[in-house]
Amino acid sequence: MTDDAPELRAADADRERVAEILRDALAEGRLDMAEFEERLEATYQARTYGELTPITRDLPAAGTSPAVSLTKPPVRDGSWGSRIVGGEGTSSWAVAIMSGFQRKGRWTVPRRFDSFAFWGGGEIDLREADFAAGEVVINCVAVMGGISVIVPPGVEVVMRGIGIMGGFDEREHDMSPDPGAPRVIVTGFAFWGGVEVAHKVTKAERQRLKEERRQEGLDRRSARHELHESRHEWHQQRREHREERRENRDRRRRGDH
């Protein structure tokens, strides 16, 4: 098609090319169904290039997408590589003295994070965090207090701390590190207190797994119900068949007499 000769008659092939652009735009979410149907109708009613051209003037050609620059943070693709972002951490230390601290949600763990708790408690949650490097150190000192470090499944944890009249522990788990996952080294000591590392999924992931299990249960119940219905139908057919045979025998006997 050309804008130089809008009065020229359009061919069927021209209309089909426009329809293809519209189908791509619908699939990519550039048009909703109402807009698509309206433009498609106009396409097949068009007689000239001048009538066809405006229909796709605001859409990219079929099979292409324009370059787009976004200023918002990129969407996570689920891989560990997308979470090792380099640079500096969002926060490099935390202190709780007869109080508490939290580092959780979307934040960037620095190469070294220092924490201290005295008669208080702290929580360092890495489940939704990014990492400044593939290996980070979290130093925890707990005196008559406690610090909890929560890591997502798949992260390798190395414990290099000691407990003096206290505990410096990692909860048992049966998950092996994922390829490319960050390595978290937990150092420090606990005196009359405790430092604990736990592997947990996020609330959203836990809800997703719960929903999957619920759906699996529904599927199993549905399958059992279908099997029960199938067996019931089979038994019903057998009863009907036996009844039919019995009636046939009775008719033959009555006929004999």
* Domain segments of the chain as ranges: 1-65, 84-203
- For position 68, what pLDDT does the model report? 41
* d(C-alpha 14, C-alpha 56), whole Å: 12
- For position 73, what pLDDT does the model report? 43
Determine the average pLDDT of the residues in 5-33: 83
Q: Which residues contact 139 (CB under 8 A, 6 or more apart)?
A: 112, 113, 114, 115, 186, 187, 188
Determine the average pLDDT of the residues in 223-251: 72
- For position 247, what pLDDT does the model report? 79
CA atoms within 13 A on the CB side of 76: 11
Lowest pLDDT segment from 33-37, 89-93, 133-137, 183-187:
33-37
pLDDT band at 218 (very low <50, low <70, confident <90, very high): low
Decide which of 41 and 248 is more confident: 41
Q: In what order do the strands lie in the sheet with 167-170?
A: 100-103, 121-125, 146-151, 194-199, 167-170
Phi-psi region of 253 (alpha: psi -120 to 50; beta: other; left: phi over 0): alpha
First CA to last CA distance, the chain: 91
pLDDT over 50 (residue 131): yes
pLDDT over 60 (residue 4): no
- For position 69, what pLDDT does the model report? 38
Q: What percent of the chain has pLDDT above 90?
A: 38
Determine the average pLDDT of the residues in 66-77: 43
Decide which of 178 and 210 is more confident: 178
- For position 194, what pLDDT does the model report? 95
